[in-house]
Amino acid sequence: ATNRTFTMVKPDAFGAGNAGAILKMIEEAGFKIVALKATKLSSDLAGKFYEVHKERPFYNDLVSYMSSGPIIAAILEKDNAVEDFRKLIGATNPADAAEGTIRKIFAKSIEANAVHGSDSDENAAIEGSFFFSQAERVI
Ligand code: CMP
């Protein structure tokens, strides 16, 4: 079925000037952009977005990294969006990511891993709503 996922181009990739190339790969893979913006997270907002990871040892670093520079946030639509997008981006750790995946090509480290992709339909809806009001979406 057609459904949605949520993505961010993270500070490392945006700062390196790779946002356009990444969005091109996303569109060429058949994802339709439903909402898109460039923004910068405060550490408070980054902390809220990643609240599920707050007990993890990497949480504080992750929050400061994600608020270190501008990002792109987007809602994407496609058949089987969540699963297909995770295939397109590759494993969390770029060292484990398959050839041709976005993280293999653009990620610098397990933390600065170029892009985010939602891990479930439920989280895709929560994460999309975190960044976009109804009026900011195409549909
Ligand atoms: P993402 O899929 O956006 O969601 C959680 C993020 O935490 C992940 O991408 C990485 O940026 C980061 N992350 C996950 N695991 C680790 C780790 N072991 N060390 C550092 N950062 C991590």
Structural domain boundaries enclosing 119: 2-133
Give the rounded distance of the alpha carbon of 5 from its chain centre: 9
State pTM to two decimals: 0.96
Q: Is 116 a catalytic residue?
A: yes
Whether residue 139 lies inside any domain: the answer is: no
Residue range 16-63, pLDDT digits in tens: 999 999 999 999 999 999 999 999 999 999 999 999 999 999 999 999
- Selecting among 116, 117, 128, 131, the annotated active-site residue is 116
How far away, in angstroms, is 92 Cα from ligand 1 center?
Answer: 7
How far away, in angstroms, is 111 Cα from ligand 1 center?
Answer: 5
The answer, yes or no, to whether ipTM is higher than 0.90 is: yes
Whether residue 138 lies inside any domain: the answer is: no
- Find the Cα–Cα–Cα–Cα dihedral 94, 97, 99, 101, rounded to 10°: -80
The residue to mutate among 5, 22, 50, 58, having the most atoms of ligand 1 within 8 angstroms of its beta carbon, is: 58
> Length of the chain in residues, anyone?
139
What are the binding residues? 10, 58, 86, 92, 103, 113
- Find the Cα–Cα–Cα–Cα dihedral 136, 70, 106, 133, rounded to 10°: -20
Whether residue 77 lies inside any domain: the answer is: yes
How far away, in angstroms, is 93 Cα from ligand 1 center?
Answer: 8
Give the Cα separation of 38 and 34 in Å (integer): 14
Q: DSSP of 11-32, one letter per residue?
A: HHHHHTT-HHHHHHHHHHTTPE
Q: Which amino acid is at 52?
A: V
**Overall domain count for the chain:** 1
Whether residue 107 lies inside any domain: the answer is: yes
Residue 42 belongs to domain with CATH number = 3.30.70.141
